[in-house]
Every structure is written in C-alpha cells, then in structure tokens.
Homo-oligomer: A and B are copies of this chain.
Amino acid sequence: MTEKANQGLEKPLLRVLKGECVQPRPIWLMRQAGRYLPEYRALRKQAGSFLDLCYTPELAAEITLQPIRRYGFDAAILFSDILVLPDALGQTVRFEEGIGPKLDPVTADNLAAVCRPEAVLGGGNEKLEAVYEAIRLIRRELPAETALIGFCGAPWTVATYMVEGGGSKTFERIRRWAAADSAGFAQLIDILVDTTVAHLLGQIAAGVEAVQLFESHAGVLDTVGFARWVLEPARRIVTALHAAAPDVPVIGFPRGGGVQLPRYASETGIDALGLDQSIPLDWIDGLLPKNFPVQGNLDPIYLLDGSAEIARHVEAICEALPERPHIFNLGHGVIKETDPETIQTLVECLRSL
C-alpha cells in the first residue's frame, strides 16, 4: 500500500482530501459522465439497458474516461449507479427510459427473500465483479495526475429506492416503516451498511483512490430519524473503511442535510464534506475544523444557458473559501440539457483564477 499511497498523494485531488490547499483548485463534476455528452449517447446505444452499461466493463470504463479526455478533470468517478447494490442483493431493478428506476418494493414481509446479503458479502458476485473489472480498466488508461473516485449510495438513500420502489416526492412508505417499526427497518439498514462496506472495499481493492458516499435524500427525515438512519450508518461505514483501508479518504455528501452538516462532518468520521448548492459557504466555513476539506457547490442550473455569468459564480465560491481545502464541484449532478462547451468554460474559468 505504501508505494500506491505515496503515488496517490501526488494527485491534486488527493492532496486536497488530505487537508492541503491546492491551486488551481481540483475540479470534477457529479454526473460528469453521461447524457449531456454526445460521445456518451453514441455509446449508450451499444447496451440494452442502463444496468448493462454498468456491468459491461469496457463500456463502463470508456464512459468513465470520456469526460477526462474532453476536460482533463482532476478526478474520474466510476460510471455506475447506487442501485447496483440492491440489484446485486437480489431485488429486481429496472431503469425505464425517461422515467427513472423502478424496483419491486422491499417490505418488512419480503425483506429476507428479496434482499440476500450473502450474495454480496461472500465475494464473487458477478455483477459487482464486472464493476471491479471496469475499475481496473480505468486505472490502466487514466492520466497519472487524475484520481479515480468510487462510490456507493448511503444506506438511507438506497433504502428509499428499495422501499418506495423508485423515486419519490414524499417518501411516505419508507418514513412510515422507519417510524412505526424501527427494529424491522434497522434490519434493512444493517444489510446495507455491511454490503456498502463490502462493495466500497471491493472498489478500493480494484483501484479507486477515494470514495464518495451519496446521501441524496438526507433532507427528508426529522432529527431523530437523521441521527439513526443517516448519521449512525455513515459512522459505521466510515469506521469500517478506515480500519480496512486507512489511506483511502471518504467524501460524505448528505444532500439536503443543511443544519445537520457540521454534525455529519464531526460524528461520522468522513474525511471531506460534499456541499449542495443550498449551503452558504461562509456558514459552513465557520463551523468546520481548519483544514477539513469541502467539495462543491455550484448550482448546475447556471451551466444551462450560456456562460456569461459562470466566471462570477466560480469566483464567488472560491472567494468564500479562501483558506479551506476545496474541491470544486457542483451542488448536484450535471443536468442532461447542459451544453458540453459550457463545461469547458467552467473548467477554464476555475483554472485561470
């Protein structure tokens, strides 16, 4: 590990994740690979379903590398999906074009039948092995200065899809289960904690140099639920990762976590905090320990129409974090209608500051 770790420390993104201020600030974008890129859309046709893309190592690797070739981002993020985990656990997961993911919902009654942790924990899961093979292919092609980030959805967020059967506006089904039968719901969360650790360690063994935990639905719980279903699972995951892979930093991204972000940063053990666009940077900067790295948080909406205002927004974000280790990113994923040229403008703006 020592040689690999030293090598890793030289990449700008990893230096920031270890607490260093690096200029120009490293940049990558959530959903930097995907539908806004014509080269992605061309390649998309070569696979039947979205999950086929994720499970075809050559395609997943190629898609991961597309934005690196185009923009020279400081990190590639594995092209995959947070729902490969429930898929690997045995739940039926379908991606419907233009609609989003559809799952046969997990309930208290069918949990044991639908969700089999041994399918992941034993190793050798065919679907996840394909993901790890993609990582090995990516590492071979990636420029020396570019870091590779792996990821999982955090247990609460993955559970929302598993229990609601897809996306949701109200999250009533899962919130109801968690509130009325917390012991039963905890079984699902426990399975997700253990298998998330296993899948992230699998990604790390295959070559990712940092991991991000996407807690995309952190904002829908009350404070009691947030502590139990967001903070505590993240703490267990980070503890296990740090024990098994102490050199690999963990970025936590509790989107919509708002007021709870300082607690999330201090109680979970994460190494860096992802910020959505609702977070006032002066507020979070005043509450985090010196040298605690953050990532974010340009509103991706500003990338949709022209580029006249981008320089101003980029400057405002950097000026609000003058002495903070900072990875430039969006507050949410690239919107599919974004013009690829505008992303080029963004990268140039940041690097010319």
Contact = CB atoms under 8 A, between A and B. Distances in A.
29 contacts: A169-B169, A172-B301, A175-B299, A176-B304, A179-B299, A179-B301, A179-B302, A179-B305, A180-B304, A180-B305, A180-B306, A219-B278, A220-B278, A221-B278, A222-B277, A222-B278, A223-B277, A223-B278, A223-B279, A223-B280, A224-B313, A225-B299, A226-B278, A258-B258, A258-B259, A258-B278, A259-B259, A259-B280, A260-B280
Contacts of A169: 167, 169
A309 to B, nearest CB: 8
A175 B225 contact: no
Given A222-B299, A258-B278, A259-B279, 12 more contacts: A172-B301, A172-B335, A176-B301, A176-B304, A176-B305, A179-B304, A219-B278, A221-B278, A222-B331, A223-B277, A258-B259, A259-B278
Contacts of A279: 223, 259
Interface residues of A, number: 38
Per assembly, the copies of the chain total 2
A202 interface: no
A256 interface: yes
Contacts of A297: 222
A172 B338 CA distance: 12
Highest count of chain B CB atoms <10 Å: which of A175, A222, A316, A335: A222
A169 B258 CA distance: 18
A259 B221 CA distance: 15
A306 B281 CA distance: 42
Nearest to A260: B280
Contacts of A309: 179
Contacts of A305: 176, 179-180
A266 to B, nearest CB: 14
A127 to B, nearest CB: 28
Interface-central residue, A167, A219, A226, A301, by most chain B CB under 10 Å: A301
Interface in A311-346: 313, 316, 331, 335
Interface string A213-251: 000000111111110000000000000000000000000
Contacts of A176: 301, 304-305
Contacts of A179: 299, 301-302, 304-305, 309
